[in-house]
Chains A and B, each alone.
Chain A
Amino acid sequence: MMRGRAYYWLVTALSIPAFLWLVPTLWMVSLSFQPNEILARTTSSTALGLVPVPFTAENYGALFTYGQTPWWFMNSMIVSLGMTFSVLLVSTTAGYALARLRFPFKRTLTVAALVGLMVPEQAVFIPLYTMFADFGWHNSYHALILPRVAVPIGVFLMMSFFKAIPNDIEEAARLEGVGWLQIFWYVMMPLARPAMMTLAILTFLYAWNDYLWPLVSAQQREYFTITLGLASIQSNFAQSEGLGRVMASGVIASLPVVLLFLIFQRYVVQAMTVGGTKG
């Protein structure tokens, strides 16, 4: 491992672009801790505004006493967790069956499922809108959840995971007379935990950050997700809400995904790689 002088030069040289890369995020956090009256006059009080002096936590207090941010945050949690759970359910079951069971039309069904990877959300949001309108389903949690559950990326992921498990585990269980569903539930599911974790994180990030479908489907503010709600208040940030408060909403909206990233970094990177290459 290179650990000489050149290495320390490299780290120092890379720290500069890395700091610049962090500046926009730091600035958001710093502005969220400054008083709105000051921000209305200048955003560069101390060190170009990168240090929150004068300091206040009032913006966060205000978010929780009035405004809809906490409500939108809850909506996002419900939708993201609901979507994550549903995607895990349909993907592990279908992924296992397609990878390891023998049944008629297996090849046809596999191809049929994977062709769906080619259809981007942007190409189906109009027909989906009319469908949900016909059902009278807009402005509900299931309307925000269901379209993503149909995307076969999870099935693809779980299928390739189950395919890699050696046969003898299953055969041993078969000899004991254990049924297929029991094998799936008691033998395969525990083995699949790392893959399920990756899929869960991929889904949660997608759900939390999705913008286009919630924008189309949720017209009532009570059903906004935090991502959508933030978009609705950012167009008039300086006038009505105050810059500091909008920035505080931005920080709150980012907190779950940033924490998820920092705690489960390995899984997040893996999830986004898989999501990036296959979805």
Chain B
Amino acid sequence: MRQDSNPLRRRRLSQAQAAFVLLVPFFAVYGVFLVYPFFRGIWISLHDWNLLAVAFNPDAKEFIGVENYQKVMWGKNIEWGAFVSPALQLAGLVGIGLAVLLRRTNRMSRATAIALGIGAFLLFVLPGFHPGEGGRWYDRRFWPTVGNTVLFVSLTVPGVTISALLLAAALNRETRAMAVLRTVFFLSQVLSVTVVTLIWQIMFSPRQGLIANITELFGGTPIVWLTNEQFAMAAIVITTVWWSLGIAMILFLAGLQDISTDLYEAGALDNATGMKAFRYITLPNLKRTITLVVVLQIILHFQVFGQSHLMTNGGPNDTTQVLVRYIYQTGFRDSELGRAAAMAVFLFLIMGAFSVLQFVIGREEEQ
């Protein structure tokens, strides 16, 4: 029998008490600075809440229910038609068909098929809404802004994914030279958005830019990238691909490490080397990683802000206006906090859907 003569020892905390002590710091901060703000955001979105008016008089807000959501997303005499935006809606229908077909023939997991199906369904339904005769959107800029964000994502994500995948496949060798090359491609990833936009703003400058200097060297006329409606989005996408290729490459490299070398040796016996090996061994075994990287990139790039805010100011003519920048402007330039909060809830719902998808894919991976 152990003799507890030390009085300190008898006052030892029980397991539950120790847990309580250890959990309090995190949950206090978490509750106050994340959980509470989240619900407060929903509460603000249900009010007519002017930033300046409420700052001077806390009672200057008025409960208006879902009116902010209406003002942002809806309009007068909105109608729906199946042929309003034929290209997008057709793509949606094709997507639905594809999801059903691939699921039926068991060439796609259930989660991926459902995700594709929902995405394609939204692509079919959402572009169909339009103002009817004498109608108009209450907020003309909201849906075009969402459209720009989706366009930005749908250009950046394939750009990053494809180049990162090819690079990872080429750099997947444990030699000194390859390690140096990996470092080079990863380096831009650690820079801040303001450094990246500083560099590329001047790279793209028609008077001082490196790209303009090279164009002039070959006798061409420099492009006015950032203030030209045709090129502004492209400029932002190029900047973002340069900036964020690193993470995707690293994730692919980790995925490649998990493919057994036996597969390649067996493949070599069947004459599958180089591109053939990439097509028939690497790609199929990397399917999960590719899906994961794509979903992560969508979540990351849907929240784009700095590139648009600092390089183009959302212009020219709103062509690079993106959702987070519109939220920021509505809230802090126009002082319409209620409407901005409603848009933030909209953003959260989209991000939340992709987070759930990411979680489901992660779970599938573990099984």
- Give the B-binding residues of A (Cβ under 8 A): 1-3, 7, 10-11, 14-15, 17-18, 21-25, 27-28, 31, 39, 42-44, 48-49, 89-91, 93-94, 96-98, 101-104, 106, 109, 113, 116-120, 122-131, 133, 146-147, 149-152, 155, 177, 179-181, 184, 205, 208-209, 211-212, 215-216, 227-228, 230-231, 234-235, 237-238, 243, 246-247, 250, 253-254, 257-258, 260-262, 265, 268-269, 272-273, 276-277
Within the assembled complex, what's the spacing in Å between the Cα atoms of A271 and B43? 35
Interface residues of B in 209-231 (CB under 8 A from A): 209-210, 213-214, 217
Q: Which residues of A contact B178 (CB under 8 A)?
A: 11
Most chain B CB within a 10 A radius of its CB, from A7, A113, A122, A179: A122
Segment with Cβ contacts to A, from B24-32, B108-116, B139-147: B24-32
Q: A101-B22, A276-B247 are in contact. Are A257 and B191 (CB under 8 A)?
A: yes
Q: A24-B200, A118-B351 are in contact. Are A254 and B213 (CB under 8 A)?
A: no
Q: Of the candidates B21, B55, B210, B214, which one forms a contact with A181 in the assembled complex, judged by CB atoms under 8 Å apart? A: B21
Extra A-B contacts (13), CB below 8 Å, given A97-B19, A177-B2, A237-B202: A14-B167, A94-B25, A103-B19, A118-B351, A120-B347, A128-B37, A130-B40, A180-B19, A181-B22, A205-B190, A237-B198, A254-B192, A257-B191
Across the A-B interface, the 4 shortest Cβ-Cβ residue pairs: A180-B18, A94-B26, A209-B192, A150-B33
Segment with Cβ contacts to A, from B7-15, B72-80, B85-93, B130-138: B7-15
Asked if residues B25 and A89 are in contact (CB atoms below 8 Å), the reply is yes
Q: Of the candidates B194, B203, B344, which one forms a contact with A228 in the assembled complex, judged by CB atoms under 8 Å apart? A: B194
Within the assembled complex, what's the spacing in Å between the Cα atoms of A127 and B54? 13
Q: Of the candidates A28, A118, A149, A216, which one forms a contact with B352 in the assembled complex, judged by CB atoms under 8 Å apart? A: A118
Q: Which residues of A contact B191 (CB under 8 A)?
A: 25, 209, 254, 257-258
Asked if residues B44 and A117 are in contact (CB atoms below 8 Å), the reply is no
Asked if residues A257 and B190 are in contact (CB atoms below 8 Å), the reply is yes
Q: A109-B23, A122-B344, A273-B251 are in contact. Are A208 and B192 (CB under 8 A)?
A: yes
User: From residue B23, how far is it (CB to closest CB) to chain A in Å?
Assistant: 5
Contact code string B313-354 (vs A, CB < 8 Å = 1, else 0): 000000000001001100110000100110011011001100
User: From residue A91, how far is it (CB to closest CB) to chain B in Å?
Assistant: 7
Asked if residues A209 and B193 are in contact (CB atoms below 8 Å), the reply is yes
Asked if residues A90 and B26 are in contact (CB atoms below 8 Å), the reply is yes
Q: Which residues of B contact A152 (CB under 8 A)?
A: 26, 30, 34
Q: Which residues of B contact A10 (CB under 8 A)?
A: 170
Asked if residues B41 and A124 are in contact (CB atoms below 8 Å), the reply is yes
Q: Which residues of B contact A155 (CB under 8 A)?
A: 26
Q: Which residues of A contact B209 (CB under 8 A)?
A: 43
Within the assembled complex, what's the spacing in Å between the Cα atoms of A128 and B38? 9
Q: Which residues of B contact A17 (CB under 8 A)?
A: 167
Interface pairs (22), CB distance under 8 Å: A21-B187, A21-B242, A27-B210, A43-B202, A94-B22, A97-B18, A101-B22, A116-B34, A122-B344, A123-B348, A127-B40, A128-B37, A129-B332, A211-B194, A212-B306, A212-B324, A215-B328, A234-B201, A234-B310, A261-B186, A269-B250, A277-B251
Asked if residues A234 and B19 are in contact (CB atoms below 8 Å), the reply is no
Within the assembled complex, what's the spacing in Å between the Cα atoms of A102 and B200? 53
Asked if residues A126 and B44 are in contact (CB atoms below 8 Å), the reply is yes
Q: A48-B213, A113-B26, A146-B33 are in contact. Are A227 and B194 (CB under 8 A)?
A: yes
Q: A94-B23, A120-B348, A122-B327 are in contact. Are A48 and B181 (CB under 8 A)?
A: no
Q: Of the candidates B202, B214, B345, which one forms a contact with A123 in the assembled complex, judged by CB atoms under 8 Å apart? A: B345
Asked if residues A93 and B25 are in contact (CB atoms below 8 Å), the reply is yes
Q: Of the candidates B190, B254, B355, which one forms a contact with A258 in the assembled complex, judged by CB atoms under 8 Å apart? A: B190
Asked if residues B29 and A97 are in contact (CB atoms below 8 Å), the reply is no
Q: With an 8 A cutoff between CB atoms, is B59 at the interface?
A: no
Q: Which residues of B contact A130 (CB under 8 A)?
A: 40, 44, 54, 337
Q: Of the candidates A24, A27, A101, A119, which one forms a contact with B19 in the assembled complex, judged by CB atoms under 8 Å apart? A: A101
Chain A: which residue is nearest B2 at the CB level? A177
Asked if residues B195 and A181 are in contact (CB atoms below 8 Å), the reply is no
Q: Which residues of B contact A113 (CB under 8 A)?
A: 26-27, 30
Q: Which residues of B contact A119 (CB under 8 A)?
A: 34, 38, 348
Contact code string B168-192 (vs A, CB < 8 Å = 1, else 0): 0011011101100101111111111
User: From residue B250, how far is it (CB to closest CB) to chain A in Å?
Assistant: 5
Q: Which residues of A contact B186 (CB under 8 A)?
A: 261, 269
Q: Which residues of A contact B171 (CB under 8 A)?
A: 14
Q: With an 8 A cutoff between CB atoms, is B291 at the interface?
A: no
Q: Which residues of A contact B20 (CB under 8 A)?
A: 103
Q: Which residues of A contact B44 (CB under 8 A)?
A: 126-127, 130
Q: A14-B171, A127-B44 are in contact. Are A146 and B15 (CB under 8 A)?
A: no
Q: With an 8 A cutoff between CB atoms, is B35 at the interface?
A: yes
Asked if residues A24 and B246 are in contact (CB atoms below 8 Å), the reply is no
Within the assembled complex, what's the spacing in Å between the Cα atoms of A216 and B341? 14
Asked if residues A126 and B26 are in contact (CB atoms below 8 Å), the reply is no
Q: Which residues of A contact B240 (CB under 8 A)?
A: none
Asked if residues A124 and B177 are in contact (CB atoms below 8 Å), the reply is no
User: From residue A172, how far is it (CB to closest CB) to chain B in Å?
Assistant: 15
Chain B: which residue is nearest A148 at the CB level? B33
